[in-house]
Structure 1
Amino acid sequence: MVRVRVVRHSGLRRRALRRRALWGGGEVLVTVGVVLLLLVVHQVWWTNREARAGADREVRALERAWGGGGGGGGGDGDSGTAVPATSATPVPSPDSAPGSSGSAGSSAGTGRRSAAESSPTPDWSRAYAILTIPRLHLRVPVAEGVSKSGVLNKGYVGHYPGTQQPGQAGNFALAGHRNTHGEPFRYVNRLARGDTVRVETRSATYTYAVDRTLPQTAAHDGSVVRPIPRSTVRPGHGYTEPGYYLTLTTCTPEYTSKYRLVVWGKLVSMRPR
């Protein structure tokens, strides 16, 4: 007696549906993976490429507007006006020039005063200075404000509103991306005590020397950009006396924005243009 195998079409349909579901799910996963890969490439590579190119163009435009070359003024050991790193006396008013307490009738004293007193009042989000850090081979424009879309995502370094301008008594505080969009502050953690940082404006070049580093603090630790910078989260870090300070801030650890890395410097010289 011959047995005839009965094929149940419902079972075949279920298996076919499972295969189609698995195939469709695989296609979705591959598509999502490709999209995510493209996003990573865009964030890590393309935004850096575009921002760096734009920042370089802006640096060249500022140099042309100031009538200078690409080398930047006031390097290590320059002959500019020396400025005390700290002072036991009260800080002068923000508009006064460091080292301008010489004879009022001397042309050198007049030059020093005019250079600092003419510190620019920048337009919002427009580049008005150039930051140079020789150790990092970095040369980028500085713009007013720290918004991502208006300043930081352009590859610029942003000046914290309400802090002082270059060469003025108090704290000239800057922010920059550590990753993506030009990442100008990618390696600021490598700066060591004594490394120089130059800030060029239309009127003068200011040279700061790196003094201290705060490797990690909370994102809300706004006291690090006060006129006398000192961390309230990490009280042992910062200063207690007035001076002419530079503050560089960025996110840490890399590829996160959970904490802030802070580098402080002190003004050591000023060279009028």
Structure 2
Amino acid sequence: MRIPLVQHSTRRRRERFRRVFFTGAELLVTGGVLVLLLVVHQLWWTNLEAREGAERRVEALEREWGADPPAASSASASAPPGADRGNGGDGNVGGRPSSGAPRASQAYAVLRIPRLHLRVPVAEGIDKRKVLNKGYVGHYTHTQQPGQQGNFALAGHRNTHGEPFRYLNRLRKGDKVEVETRDAVYTYTVGRILPRTSPRDSGVIQPVPRSLDRPAYGYGTPGRYLTLTTCTPEYTSRYRLVVWGQLTATEPRR
């Protein structure tokens, strides 16, 4: 009976194959672990860190306002009779806007949305690193301030970094949105919702907001508006979701 002989060159090829195979397997496992850690960091850690920081900033603002009473305001304590109707008031709800212009990236107001159980700082500008990634909501700098005639427009993350606007799509017509500053609390009533538009649709944050891509959505007369914008669908930035409201009450802080 003849016994087959294994040549040395064949053994060497097998050894090289084994080394390549196991090295490749180790690299794949290591890469998978790194990707998993990155996903955990983005979806969990950034949210935890940003939410805690945003909550501390809200508390700091409230302490600051409590220790420094606002100047006397001529703003009415509520909207005129009949102002809170469907799409909001008639655009004539008065109220002195918060005093002074905020610095870039400065947190200067608090946004509250009862339906979403949301309480988050509002900062000047929409810089990702200095504002949005800190879990804040950012104010479009060329739009108006709370209570002013025109459009007070805000942006916020829908996913990661605190994701304050994660459930913005749950807002419905008639929902209340409050913006508190050092001087007053401004209540807006949700009137219209644009489920999807282009990120380049600048019409949604104009003084009289109306979509340039979908003109059926928006308003046609001057007023005191609030605009909330975020990315859609979730985990993408392909489109923008827009929620609009009108000012229906102004209450001076005591």
> TM-score scaled to structure 1, two decimals?
0.84
Residues 97 and 147, structure 2, Cα contact 8 Å, conserved in 1: no
| Partner amino acid, structure 1, of 2:190 | V
User: What CA distance in whole angstroms lies between the structure 2 residues aligned with 1:157 and 1:4?
Assistant: 78
State the partner residue of 1:81.
78
Residues 114 and 177, structure 2, Cα contact 8 Å, conserved in 1: yes
User: What CA distance in whole angstroms lies between the structure 1 residues aligned with 2:202 and 2:157?
Assistant: 17
Per-residue CA distance 1:129-182 (angstroms, 9 max, x = gap): 000000000000000000110100000000001100000010000000000000
1:133 is aligned, of 102, 113, 116, to 113
| Partner amino acid, structure 1, of 2:40 | V
User: What CA distance in whole angstroms lies between the structure 1 residues aligned with 2:89 and 2:3?
Assistant: 101
User: What CA distance in whole angstroms lies between the structure 2 residues aligned with 1:4 and 1:155?
Assistant: 73
Q: Does 1:234 align with 2:231?
A: no
The DSSP-based 3-state class of the residue aligned with 1:228 is coil
User: What CA distance in whole angstroms lies between the structure 2 residues aligned with 1:211 and 1:99?
Assistant: 15
State the partner residue of 2:224.
244
2:197 is aligned, of 217, 226, 233, to 217
The DSSP-based 3-state class of the residue aligned with 2:200 is coil
1:117 CA displacement: 4.5
Per-residue CA distance 1:59-107 (angstroms, 9 max, x = gap): 0000000008xxxxxxxxxx932054454xxx8xxxxxx545xxxxxxx
The DSSP-based 3-state class of the residue aligned with 1:82 is coil
Residues 128 and 143, structure 1, Cα contact 8 Å, conserved in 2: yes
Output aligned runs, 1:25-36, within 5 Å: 25-36=24-35
Residues 86 and 242, structure 1, Cα contact 8 Å, conserved in 2: no
Residues 98 and 181, structure 2, Cα contact 8 Å, conserved in 1: no
Residues 153 and 205, structure 2, Cα contact 8 Å, conserved in 1: yes
Q: Which moved more, 1:9-18 or 1:37-46?
A: 9-18
1:3 CA displacement: 3.7
State the partner residue of 2:73.
none
| Partner amino acid, structure 2, of 1:34 | V
1:4 CA displacement: 5.1
Q: Does 1:177 align with 2:174?
A: no
Residues 138 and 184, structure 1, Cα contact 8 Å, conserved in 2: yes
Output aligned runs, 1:1-273, within 5 Å: 3=2, 5-67=4-66, 80-82=77-79, 84=83, 85-87=88-90, 98-100=92-94, 112=95, 116-273=96-253
Per-residue CA distance 1:237-262 (angstroms, 9 max, x = gap): 11111111000000000000010000
1:194 CA displacement: 0.5
1:189 CA displacement: 0.2
1:16 CA displacement: 1.1
The DSSP-based 3-state class of the residue aligned with 1:181 is coil
Per-residue CA distance 1:2-25 (angstroms, 9 max, x = gap): 645332111111111111111111
Residues 77 and 249, structure 2, Cα contact 8 Å, conserved in 1: yes
Q: How many residues align?
A: 239
Identity among equivalent positions (%) equals 64
| Partner amino acid, structure 1, of 2:213 | V
Structure 2 unmatched runs, 5+: 68-75
Residues 93 and 247, structure 2, Cα contact 8 Å, conserved in 1: no
User: What CA distance in whole angstroms lies between the structure 1 residues aligned with 2:186 and 2:30?
Assistant: 52
Residues 55 and 156, structure 1, Cα contact 8 Å, conserved in 2: yes
User: What CA distance in whole angstroms lies between the structure 1 residues aligned with 2:93 and 2:34?
Assistant: 57
Structure 1 unmatched runs, 5+: 69-78, 92-97, 101-111
User: What CA distance in whole angstroms lies between the structure 2 residues aligned with 1:4 and 1:59?
Assistant: 83
Query: Structure 1 pair 233/51, CA: closer, same or farther in 2 (3 Å)?
Result: same
1:120 CA displacement: 3.8
